[in-house]
Amino acid sequence: MPQIYHRMTSEPNYRILGIESSCDETAAAVVENGETILSNVVASQASMHAKFGGVFPEVASRQHLLTFPLVVEEALKSAHLDLMDIDAIAVTRGPGLPGTLVVGINIAKGLAMVSGKPLIGVHHLEAHLLSIMLIEGEERHQIIYPAVGLIVSGGHTELVFIIEPLLYKSLGFTLDDAAGEAFDKVARLLNLPYPGGPSIQTASKNGNPQAFAFPRAWLEGSWNFSFSGLKTAVLREVKRLDRYGTGMPVEDLAASFQQAVVDVLVGKTLLAAETYHAQSILVVGGVSANLALREAFLRESKLPVLIPPQHLCTDNAAMTAVVGYYRFRKGQRDGLDMDVLPNWPLSALSESV
């Protein structure tokens, strides 16, 4: 039977401090009862890494060390709370960059030691999935389970079948480049600035998405994704245009590439939803901020499509705190010997369906 998510008002109030450092965002947030954001502070390092054309792990780790004390202080201050007012501390344990994860884990451990509050390790992709819980207003009541979730970001592209929060099955994932990674690489080919997602979206506005017939890797018979061939096709076209000196139609190239990515993401997700008799679709992760992707889902899906507001699509600690809330209620408590899991698969949390 389809289940609509409702929180019982009789449940006790829990305030969770979230800590996120899986990549280049230094983030801390306080979320109450898994749905109300009391504060959400994100210090982005994007401008620092732009000169590298991508995230430089050592630079990211050092910047986290410098920034975290201020970010945590601001998160508590903005929530009008002290550390002792917090019920638990949730921190991203993985997947992510090993060095940056270590910084966040150690910050969380220090806070847990000082306060005596429980420590909860959080899976980063599960946090993206549960970021849907932070949607405000009536739209939240459209979250109907079972659902199919598409996680699409710089490092991950994965399809998940969700029975209810914390109960799901991994269906498929990218075999090579994640969608966001493909955006970054193609942006470099087109001499567009980092990060590639926003740059390609902007360039595509005045481009023709049918100008170039770039391939779509459907990988029929599986729910997996592949974007490496698409990236190579763009590279070959750029070289061909350069060789013949016909000029570089950047806007058309960007729009055609973006359309190829959107077609595959939307097509496979809608087919999975139909196959698994889902009642709603969740689209999360940094690439879910892409307007063409959002519009395509809302236009083509017969089911309710839930996408977080743009400021919650990219990495943030509010979504970490949401998972912390649900895991805290289920009794999860992690020790101070908890280590990072940089390659932690979502399937490790999945249960048989």
Return the number of other C-beta atoms located less than 10 Å from residue 351's C-beta: 9
What is the DSSP annotation of 233-246? HHHHHHHHHHHHT-
Pairing of strands 15-20, 167-173: unpaired
Measured in degrees and rounded to the nearest 5, phi and psi for residue 330 equal -85, -5
Least confident of 18-32, 124-138, 259-273, 276-290: 124-138
Least confident of 90-99, 201-210, 341-350: 341-350
DSSP at 334? B
Bigger pLDDT: 63 or 323?
Answer: 323
What average pLDDT is seen over the chain?
92
CB 319 within 8 A of CB 130: yes
pLDDT value of residue 247: 83
- Dist. CA 228–CA 225, nearest whole Å: 10
Highest CATH level, class, for 144-307: alpha beta
- Dist. CA 273–CA 275, nearest whole Å: 6
Q: What is the four-CA torsion angle of 7, 269, 308, 289, rounded to 10 degrees? A: 170
Domain ranges of the chain: 3-130+313-348, 144-307
- Dist. CA 66–CA 203, nearest whole Å: 35
pLDDT value of residue 353: 37
pLDDT value of residue 245: 79
C-alpha 202 chain-centroid distance: 21
Confidence tier at 154 by pLDDT (50, 70, 90): confident
- Dist. CA 113–CA 116, nearest whole Å: 5
pLDDT value of residue 206: 95
Average pLDDT, integer, range 82-103: 97
Highest CATH level, class, for 3-130+313-348: alpha beta
Q: What is the pLDDT of residues 193-250, one digit of tens each?
A: 989 999 999 999 999 999 999 999 999 999 999 999 999 999 999 999 988 877 899 9
CB 338 within 8 A of CB 93: yes
Average pLDDT, integer, range 37-60: 79
Residue with tokens 């193609």: 186
Q: Give the tokens for residue 85.
A: 């007012």
pLDDT value of residue 191: 94
Cis peptide, bond prior to residue 12, ω within 30 of zero = no
Which 3 state secondary structure label does DSSP give 40?
strand
- Return the closest-CA partner of residue 353 out of 220, 127, 171: 171
pLDDT value of residue 352: 37
Average pLDDT, integer, range 272-282: 97
CB 17 within 8 A of CB 90: yes
149 CB-contact burial (10 Å; exposed 0-12 / middle 13-18 / buried 19+): buried
CB 234 within 8 A of CB 189: yes
- Dist. CA 96–CA 58, nearest whole Å: 13
Average pLDDT, integer, range 80-105: 97
Confidence tier at 136 by pLDDT (50, 70, 90): confident
> What is the arrangement of strands in the sheet containing 167-173, beginning at the earlier edge strand?
167-173, 157-164, 147-152, 280-284, 305-306
pLDDT value of residue 44: 77
The reply to whether 144-307 shares the fold of 3-130+313-348 is yes
Instruction: State the Cα angle at 106 between 332 and 29, rounded to 5°.
Output: 65
Average pLDDT, integer, range 136-158: 86
In the chain, what percentage of residues exceed pLDDT 70?
A: 92
Bigger pLDDT: 45 or 19?
Answer: 19
